[in-house]
Structures are given as structure tokens and as C-alpha cells.
């Protein structure tokens, strides 16, 4: 492919990255829906993309092949690698195996999506950051918090795109891209950690500027209305780097699923994925660190110890769950006792390594009357005890603040709240469905069709097209799931997803998940048992 042809392609990518990302993930959802609806194993295997004629509807968009890169628009005539004029005229499509064509499309999507991402970054800098009116309104310190090291991020993206461009120009058939991803991740992608770690400060500064500076609010609104922004908000540009580094890992996973096993390309894809995963985890930790520290300081100020004081603030400690439960009165009360004053309120703070049990007192304070290490907690659900004892469970402290065993009979406000407390208190407790690490059991799965932002520490934020194993569910509409691509666990409303009914698709999803993580045996052993909250 000539340099001129490639540059022409890049220039004609009309979608901003936000548009590309949204359409791409929605296409993944539609593809899985189509695959899930196929019950005849002879019709199509889970790993094969279904041809356009198998689509259930007749709209133009749905007739597009499932693996479409979705960068097409009125300004671009290119949809796929195989649609490029150079590819069609070369005759190479009649020589390559179907699996190799799918791999070419996966690598091509990584390259063209980076071009779309660079285009959006460039707009963030040229249209917003370098706007003269905005520069006069913002103090240099405010501008630094708002835009952080975005110039470094854009420079890294440009260098990365140039190397990808050079690779595409080398041969009409792309040899590999994961070796380039690996080199850039190791040598340059640390700029993403810096940018993403600033996200909490960035969001706070942006909200404060909108509130305190009407001139800032007015300029941002005017800039957002510019046609080149395509109706996208300023904040959607600010979060681009975090979205991209996460998406890049998924694109490498997609390549990894298509390369031949035990090949050099599998090795480079595994290496690239491992390094990207390290960067993504560092980004996540950077975001959490500041908010966790502030939260721990706030909690410490609210606690008054009736027992021996326990130091709350620690760099290795964070909050998992907090809230009110009802405790059964009396240390030896019968389970079947019926009185008006059967329960009284207590308040729990559960950290990753410690449980603190309190009673709320005036002045937004909490008096601590017991505590225990999280590893010494056990839970047991009570069943068929009547309405007054519905959603009741036993919490046992194997060693409490007085160095003795203690038991509490606790009542939650709903079934989902009871199960959420039980799983948080004892994360290694067996859930309703066997964890997906067991290849012998067909674990239920769900695909996210609506994004969800976690509201509590024990909840899981979801992106479109995420696939999760269902580890537990409640009758009142909550699911405890484990996301396949990163093994993060948490609760989310069942209305956010659609269950995957085809067992062959579920088996294929698990197979691909194990393949992606097979380079790390220790991680495989931990899948399904490690608490990721």
C-alpha cells in the first residue's frame, strides 16, 4: 500500500473517536445477538462472523458484515481492509484463508481507530485548549489541571500512528501490529498513567469552573456548538485518553483471538496485551488513590471508639461497603421470636481488610462497639423463617475486638442488599452459580447493552458490549457478575444487559478468555476466587 493511499485513507476518516467507539461497540452487541439467536451448530460456529444475508432485518446498516470497522460515513468510501482498492485489485483476497482475512480486519481496525483517536485529540488541543478566549479566562494553574499532559499524550499517539502507518505501507498484507503496540506501551504509554491519574482533579476543576466562572461556561458552550465537534461535549474530549488505553487493550485481545496458536504473532499479541494490562491497572489505581484517601480521612473523623481504638487510615486500606442494617435484639434471642422491637439499627463500615460495627449517634457520628479483620468473617443465610425474618443472615466474627468469637443476626432491607452484604463480607463464599474458572460447568453470561456507572463501592461500572459471567442474581433485579476481559467483579442492575442463551457462544467466550490470559498461570488460578472489589 502506497504512502499516498494510506494518507488519503487517514484524511478521509470522518468519525471522531467518540463516534467510532460508540458505533463499534454497538456493532459488537448486534453481532452477538445474531450469533446467540443461532441454534443450529451446523449453521455457523461461534467464532465465525455471520454473512450479511443471515441478518434478520433488511436495513442497510444491519446488512454490513459484523466485523466492519465502522469508520464509514459520507466522506469515506472505505469500510474494511478488504474494501481498499489496492486490496481488491491485487487478487490477494482469493489467496488468503478466511481466518487470515479476519485477522487483517482486526489489525486494520486497531490502526484506523488510532487515526480516529488522534483526530479527536487534535481537536481537543486546537479547538479547546489553544482557544485564545479560553486562555484569557483560565489561570495557568487551572489550565494545567484541566488539560494535564494532553500534549504529551497527543505526541505519543502521533508517534504510534506513524509507526503503524509505516507498517501498513510495507506490504499489502499487514504482517503484524502487536509488536509495535508492545514497544510503544513499554517505552511511551506511561503518559496515559499521568493523564488518567489526574482525572479526579480534572473533573473537580471543571465543575468548579462551570460554577464560578460564567465566562468560561459561555465559551465552552459556544465551542461545543461548532460543527466540527459534531454535537459532542467538551467533557467527552477530556476523557478520551482513558477510553483509548482501555479500548486498545480490547483491540489487542480481538487480534489475539484470531492469530494462529503457538505462532510468533500470538507471542507478540500476548506480550502487548500483558503490558497494556499493566498500564490500564496503573491508570485505574491512579484514579482510585486520591478519592480513597479523601474518603478514609472523612470516615476517620466520624468514628468514636467505645472499644480500643483501631487506626483507620492506611495506604493499603479502602472502603468496600457501608450502610445500615437491623440487628436482632438480645444476645440469645430465638430466631422465631416475634416482637415489635425485634431489631435495632447498626451501621457497618467494611474495608478491604477490616470490619467496623457502629451505632449512629447525634452529630453525624458513629460509635464503634466491635470490629474484626475481614479474613475472620463468616456469613450464613437464614431461609424460610417468615416475613419478619426475611432477608436475615448470621454474621460471625471468629475473633472480634475482645479476642473472642461473636455472632450477629442482621436483617437487610431487600434480598439484593442482603446478598450484596454477604458477598462483600465473605468474598470467598460460594455463589449461586459456579465461577467460570470451572470448564465443566456452563456458567450463565450476560452482555451489556446499556452503560452503567457504579453508584456504590461494591458495584461495577459497565461499558457497552462488556461480557460478564453471572455469579449470582437476586429476585429484585440485581446481578453479581465477573467481566471476562479483566475479571473485575461487582453488582449491577439486570436491566443493563441481555443474557447470552446460546451455550456454544458462552463456551466460545470462555475459551477466548482463557486464551487471552494463558500467559499468566498464576492469574488463571485466581480467576473466580480473587475478590476484585
In percent, how much of the chain has pLDDT > 90?
Answer: 63
Look at 48-62, 320-334, 439-453 and tell me which has the smallest mean pLDDT. 48-62
The segment with the largest mean pLDDT, out of 49-58, 146-155, 340-349, is 146-155
Q: Where is pLDDT greater, at 271 or 23?
A: 271
pLDDT of residue 51: 34
pLDDT of residue 63: 34
Average pLDDT over residues 34-49: 55
Q: Where is pLDDT greater, at 10 or 294?
A: 294
Residue 13 has pLDDT above 90, yes or no: no
Return all residues near 523 (Cβ < 8 A) that are at least 6 apart.
487, 517
pLDDT of residue 454: 93
pLDDT of residue 360: 94
The SS3 call for residue 454 is coil
Complete domains list, the chain, with CATH: 4-34+80-293 (1.20.900.10), 306-331+340-425 (2.30.29.30), 436-527 (2.30.30.40)
pLDDT of residue 244: 96
Residue 221 has pLDDT above 90, yes or no: yes
pLDDT of residue 24: 83
**Three-state SS across 13-41?**
CCCCHHHHHHHHHHHHHHHHHHHHCCCCC
Arithmetic mean of pLDDT over the chain: 84
Apex CA 460: angle with CA 522 and CA 250, to 5°?
60
pLDDT of residue 417: 95
Residue 440 has pLDDT above 80, yes or no: no
Average pLDDT over residues 192-218: 94
> Are residues 66 and 30 in contact, defined by beta-carbon separation less than 8 angstroms?
yes
pLDDT tier for residue 446 given thresholds of 50, 70 and 90: very high
pLDDT of residue 44: 40
C-alpha grid cell, residue 517: 490470559
Q: Where is pLDDT greater, at 41 or 200?
A: 200
Residue 473 has pLDDT above 50, yes or no: yes
pTM over 0.75: yes
Residue 408 has pLDDT above 70, yes or no: yes
Using CA atoms, how far residue 296 sits from 131, 301, 347, 459, in Å, is 39, 9, 16, 19
Average pLDDT over residues 457-479: 93
pLDDT tier for residue 49 given thresholds of 50, 70 and 90: very low
> Are residues 323 and 355 in contact, defined by beta-carbon separation less than 8 angstroms?
no
Residue 295 has pLDDT above 70, yes or no: yes
According to DSSP, the β-strands at 489-493 and 478-483 are: antiparallel
C-alpha grid cell, residue 203: 473533573
In percent, how much of the chain has pLDDT > 70?
Answer: 81
Q: What is the pLDDT of residues 369-385, one digit of tens each?
A: 999 999 999 999 887 66
Q: What is the pLDDT of residues 239-266, one digit of tens each?
A: 999 999 999 999 999 999 999 999 999 9
In this structure, is the dihedral angle defined by the CA atoms of residues 378, 381, 385 and 389, taken in order, positive or negative? positive
pLDDT tier for residue 56 given thresholds of 50, 70 and 90: very low
Return all residues near 501 (Cβ < 8 A) that are at least 6 apart.
36
Q: Where is pLDDT greater, at 442 or 191?
A: 191
Average pLDDT over residues 101-124: 94
Look at 291-295, 365-369, 393-397 and tell me which has the smallest mean pLDDT. 291-295
Q: What is the pLDDT of residues 300-337, one digit of tens each?
A: 999 999 998 888 998 889 999 999 999 987 544 455 55
Using CA atoms, how far residue 328 sits from 369, 394, 489, in Å, is 16, 10, 31
Average pLDDT over residues 117-143: 96
pLDDT of residue 333: 47
Average pLDDT over residues 401-411: 94
Amino acid at each position: 500500500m502506497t504512502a499516498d493511499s494510506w494518507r488519503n485513507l487517514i484524511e478521509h476518516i470522518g468519525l471522531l473517536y467518540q463516534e467510532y467507539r460508540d458505533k463499534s461497540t454497538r456493532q459488537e452487541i448486534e453481532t452477538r445477538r445474531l450469533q446467540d439467536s443461532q441454534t443450529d451448530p451446523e449453521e455457523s460456529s461461534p467464532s465465525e462472523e455471520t454473512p450479511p444475508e443471515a441478518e434478520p432485518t433488511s436495513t442497510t446498516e444491519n446488512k454490513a458484515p459484523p466485523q466492519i470497522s465502522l469508520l464509514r460515513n459520507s466522506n469515506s468510501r472505505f469500510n474494511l481492509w478488504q474494501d481498499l482498492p489496492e486490496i481488491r485489485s491485487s487478487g490477494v483476497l482469493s489467496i488468503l484463508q478466511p481466518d487470515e482475512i479476519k485477522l487483517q480486519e482486526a489489525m486494520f481496525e486497531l490502526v484506523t481507530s488510532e487515526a480516529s483517536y488522534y483526530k479527536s485529540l487534535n481537536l481537543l488541543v486546537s479547538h479547546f485548549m489553544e482557544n485564545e478566549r479560553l486562555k484569557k479566562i483560565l489561570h495557568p494553574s487551572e489550565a494545567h489541571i484541566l488539560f494535564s499532559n494532553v500534549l504529551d499524550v497527543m505526541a505519543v499517539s502521533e508517534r504510534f500512528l506513524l509507526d503503524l502507518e509505516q507498517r501498513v505501507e510495507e506490504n499489502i498484507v499487514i504482517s503484524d501490529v502487536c509488536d509495535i503496540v508492545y514497544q510503544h506501551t513499554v517505552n511511551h504509554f506511561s503518559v496515559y498513567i499521568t493523564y488518567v491519574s489526574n482525572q479526579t482533579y480534572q473533573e473537580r476543576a471543571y465543575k468548579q469552573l462551570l460554577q464560578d466562572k460564567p465566562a468560561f461556561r459561555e465559551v465552552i458552550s459556544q465551542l461545543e456548538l461548532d460543527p466540527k465537534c459534531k454535537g459532542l461535549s467538551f467533557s467527552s474530549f477530556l476523557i478520551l485518553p482513558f477510553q483509548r488505553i482501555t479500548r486498545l487493550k480490547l483491540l489487542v485481545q480481538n487480534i489475539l483471538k484470531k492469530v494462529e496458536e503457538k505462532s510468533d504473532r500470538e507471542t507478540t499479541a500476548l506480550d502487548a496485551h500483558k503490558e497494556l494490562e499493566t498500564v490500564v491497572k496503573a491508570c485505574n489505581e491512579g484514579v482510585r488513590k486520591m478519592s480513597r484517601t479523601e474518603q478514609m480521612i472523612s470516615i476517620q473523623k466520624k468514628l468514636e471508639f467505645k472499644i480500643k481504638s483501631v487506626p483507620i487510615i492506611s495506604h493499603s486500606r479502602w472502603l468496600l461497603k457501608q450502610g445500615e442494617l437491623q440487628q436482632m435484639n438480645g444476645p440469645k434471642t430465638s430466631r422465631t421470636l416475634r416482637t415489635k422491637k425485634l431489631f435495632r439499627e447498626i451501621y457497618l463500615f467494611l474495608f478491604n481488610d477490616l470490619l467496623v460495627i457502629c451505632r449512629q449517634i447525634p452529630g453525624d457520628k458513629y460509635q464503634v462497639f466491635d470490629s474484626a479483620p475481614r479474613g475472620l468473617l463468616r456469613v450464613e443465610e437464614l431461609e424460610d423463617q417468615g416475613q419478619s425474618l426475611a432477608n436475615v443472615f448470621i454474621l460471625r466474627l471468629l475473633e472480634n475486638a475482645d479476642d473472642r468469637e461473636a455472632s450477629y443476626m442482621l436483617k437487610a432491607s431487600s434480598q439484593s442488599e442482603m446478598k450484596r452484604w454477604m458477598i462483600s463480607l465473605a468474598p470467598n463464599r460460594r455463589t449461586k452459580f459456579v465461577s467460570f474458572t470451572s470448564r465443566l460447568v456452563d456458567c450463565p453470561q450476560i452482555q451489556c447493552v446499556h452503560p452503567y456507572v457504579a453508584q456504590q463501592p461494591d458495584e461495577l461500572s459497565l461499558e457497552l458490549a462488556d461480557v460478564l459471567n453471572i455469579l449470582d442474581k437476586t429476585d429484585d433485579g440485581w446481578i453479581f457478575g465477573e467481566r471476562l476481559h479483566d475479571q473485575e467483579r461487582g453488582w449491577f442492575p439486570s436491566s443493563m444487559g441481555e443474557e447470552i442463551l446460546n451455550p456454544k457462544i458462552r463456551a466460545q467466550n470462555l475459551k477466548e478468555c482463557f486464551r487471552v490470559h494463558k500467559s499468566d498461570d498464576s492469574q488463571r488460578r485466581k480467576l473466580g476466587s480473587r475478590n476484585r472489589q
